Structure 1
Amino acid sequence: MFDLESRTEREEQSRFICTANHGFLPYAQEELRRLFGSVKSTVVVPGEVFAVTLQVSAQEAVEQIGAYPPMFLRHLFPVQFQENNGDAEQILAQLTSFILNRSELNGSRLNVQVRKSEGCSWEGNAGSLKQEVMDRLAPAGAEFTLQDADYIVSLFAGDEAWYAGVSRPADNLSDWNGGAIRFQREEVQISRAKFKLLEAEATFGIDFRAFHKALDIGAAPGGWTSFLLERGLEVTAVDPAKMNTSLLESPRLTYLRKNAGEVKFREREFDLLVCDMSWSPKLMAKLVTDLLYSLQTGGTAIVTVKLMHKKPLALIKEVITLFEESGMQLQRVKQLFHNRDEVTLFMIKYD
């Protein structure tokens, strides 16, 4: 067993399993390089999961990442146990011993999170592997929970090796397994775009019920508009395309079937502006910034930026600069789990 909890290892370096949205792994790696300088990484799942070694302690790494929240790094957990892929029964016995020897877990509520690749030696799915781990821990009195856990026990069973670690939920960037936030799809849900605002609400700590009047630019077919109406807001939706007919009966909806460049509003009419248009990022930024006069000082803007460029970091910086020059202050930029080839900007108007 490769146990990274020795005194020397703790003082000099730490290892993590890191996850990004598929296709954006190189940018998550680059974020860590910019943050820590010397970074050694190995791809575990192409395009999505990698193991990284940092030349700082695990606690220092977590504090640094928390102080400078990454855009593309979605989830991570510390590697404190590693075994080459082989006999699953033997690895599970060693893993169980490792977990039970963690004194901080005594009397703690645990969330066991398991992922696996197709080439790992466990023949069942990730759910059955998770149940096996829990069954082995249960006789020792382990208490399991999906929410409000004291610690997360993370396991990734890969083609080359099995990795595991124990951490506080707040130290993993997300308390969801792999950062994959799951929302239940509703029977009458207009589009999956609604999930983006649900995730933004949780990730950015935004209480959308605190707003009164929202402007939704590029609203059709109405995924974000439906979410805001459900939160009790008055919504002005702008789009030349058709909105879902189920929304048109709402007395709190004003639907302007026009291009965003054709509409005019009162100054400071809205306290929330949202935009999820599938447009060129620079054209989108131009349309939105031209309408910022209608957003109150202190108002909030949630905008997605489509990454149609081969250099997304440079593109994101350019778009953010356009908004900052127009009186917006960036709070967070994040590629959410429900973002695909895009990131979400959370901004406040200061002027």
Structure 2
Amino acid sequence: MSDWIGTANHGFATLAMEELRRLFRDIKFVQLRAGEIFRMEVPLSREEIMSGLLEKEPVFLRHIQPIDRTLPIQGNADDLQALSELVRSARMRCEGKTIAVHLRRAENTKFLYSAADTKAVLDAVLTELGGEPEMQSPEMICSIYAGVDDLYVGWGSPKEQLSDWPGGAVRFQREEGQISRAKFKLLEAERAFGLRFETYREALDIGAAPGGWTHLLLERGLRVTSVDPAELHSSLKAYQRLNYLKKNASDVKFPSGTFDLLVCDMSWSPMQMSKLVLEKIDALSKNATAIITVKLMHKKPLQTIRDVIERLESEFILKKAKQLFHNRDEITLYLIKK
């Protein structure tokens, strides 16, 4: 038996729980924050759960945290003292490792301390134990969820927790002159799928306007062909490596094998989008990468996802399907051309 806390994008916890039910029999859930955070009890060991999740990672499960210890909240300084003693008792997990401390709080928790204050105290303890506090790419994470009456504490690697951000909530800093929020989606996809866009040569951006994804790829040094009947942001005209076609993507053709990267973030129906992407398959080189968002416009999102993936798999190998933190009513697909 093992206990966990799972997180999904707001409004999508029900779909995450449905996927988990299909993975693990006799799983039980309790909602901690409606539509987003839930506790689950599974009649399997931690190792069995991790094996199942890593073999077939759910699309809508953004983050998962084991519950190794539960501490009652006193509502005073004793809570930080209890957390400090718990961390001290885990010396073997800490010594010689880079470690991040993550705290998330329920809105009505009795725990008095902020994430910054909690981290400052526990970082001092970790240093005392021979660990090295580290927020970016740590080897180990101490995750704490402050519920209404209890602190749920668990340890795990970023891989085991599906993210090295608290609750999987990936934050990027907005830049001056940024064209659109959509850039964050592509930045997160790059991170989540282990990609490095600067290693690609020639990209095709379908449905590019206003140009957030195009801008990121140009910044990475790629040559980019952007197709959209709407206008791109005027700042992109400064890039000589941009080829902008103010047309519908269905009306343009390209020489065979031109592009080694295709990106598509169109607000079209999922099946129209997949049809358009498949029309451009000959323009992609062998083993080209595709990053595509699928808009979940219908009442049966799991069926929509299955239908789109089945259609795209006629020409692509699906590497991963995931609802990223910066996705709204959509998911992101990472595919490789066969």
The aligned runs of 1:125-164 (5 Å cut-off) are 125-134=114-123, 143-164=132-153
Residues 33, 213 of structure 1: alpha-carbon distance in 2 compared, 3 angstrom cutoff:
same
Among 257, 266, 279, the residue aligned to 1:268: 257
Q: Is 1:82 matched with 2:65? A: no
3-state SS in 1 of match to 2:277: helix
Residues 129, 119 of structure 1: alpha-carbon distance in 2 compared, 3 angstrom cutoff:
farther
The aligned runs of 1:49-198 (5 Å cut-off) are 49-104=37-92, 105-134=94-123, 143-198=132-187
Q: Is 1:25 matched with 2:52? A: no
Q: CA deviation at 1:161?
A: 2.3
Q: Distance in 2 between matches of 1:169 and 1:221?
A: 34
Moved more, 168-177 or 238-247: 168-177
Tell me the C-alpha RMSD between the 2 structures.
Answer: 1.7
CA contact (8 A) 2:75 2:112 kept: no
Q: Name the counterpart of 1:336.
A: 324
TM-score, length basis structure 2: 0.94
Residues 125, 92 of structure 1: alpha-carbon distance in 2 compared, 3 angstrom cutoff:
closer
Q: Identify unmatched segments of 5+ residues in structure 1.
A: 1-12
Q: CA deviation at 1:129?
A: 3.3
CA contact (8 A) 2:290 2:334 kept: yes
Q: Name the counterpart of 2:276.
A: 287
Q: CA deviation at 1:329?
A: 1.3
Q: Name the counterpart of 1:47.
A: 35
3-state SS in 1 of match to 2:136: coil
CA contact (8 A) 1:80 1:166 kept: yes
Residues 141, 347 of structure 1: alpha-carbon distance in 2 compared, 3 angstrom cutoff:
closer
Q: Distance in 1 between matches of 2:191 and 2:278?
A: 26
Q: Name the counterpart of 2:286.
A: 297
Q: Is 1:225 matched with 2:214? A: yes
Q: Distance in 1 between matches of 2:97 and 2:195?
A: 30
Q: CA deviation at 1:63?
A: 2.1
Q: CA deviation at 1:224?
A: 0.5
Q: Name the counterpart of 1:314.
A: 303
Residues 309, 88 of structure 1: alpha-carbon distance in 2 compared, 3 angstrom cutoff:
farther
Q: Is 1:14 matched with 2:24? A: no
Which amino acid in 2 is paired with 1:83? L
Q: Identify unmatched segments of 5+ residues in structure 2.
A: none
Q: CA deviation at 1:162?
A: 1.6
TM-score, length basis structure 1: 0.91
CA contact (8 A) 1:122 1:129 kept: no
Q: Distance in 2 between matches of 1:282 and 1:225?
A: 23
Residues 275, 166 of structure 1: alpha-carbon distance in 2 compared, 3 angstrom cutoff:
same
Q: CA deviation at 1:213?
A: 1.2
CA contact (8 A) 2:257 2:286 kept: yes
Q: Distance in 2 between matches of 1:123 and 1:343?
A: 36
Which amino acid in 2 is paired with 1:341? D
Tell me the alpha carbon deviations over residues 32-73 of structure 1, each in whole angstroms, 9 at most, x when there is no partner. 111111211111111111111111111221122112122111
Q: Name the counterpart of 2:204.
A: 215
CA contact (8 A) 2:96 2:132 kept: yes
3-state SS in 2 of match to 1:339: coil
CA contact (8 A) 1:235 1:252 kept: yes
Residues 109, 234 of structure 1: alpha-carbon distance in 2 compared, 3 angstrom cutoff:
closer
Which amino acid in 2 is paired with 1:147? Q
3-state SS in 2 of match to 1:61: helix
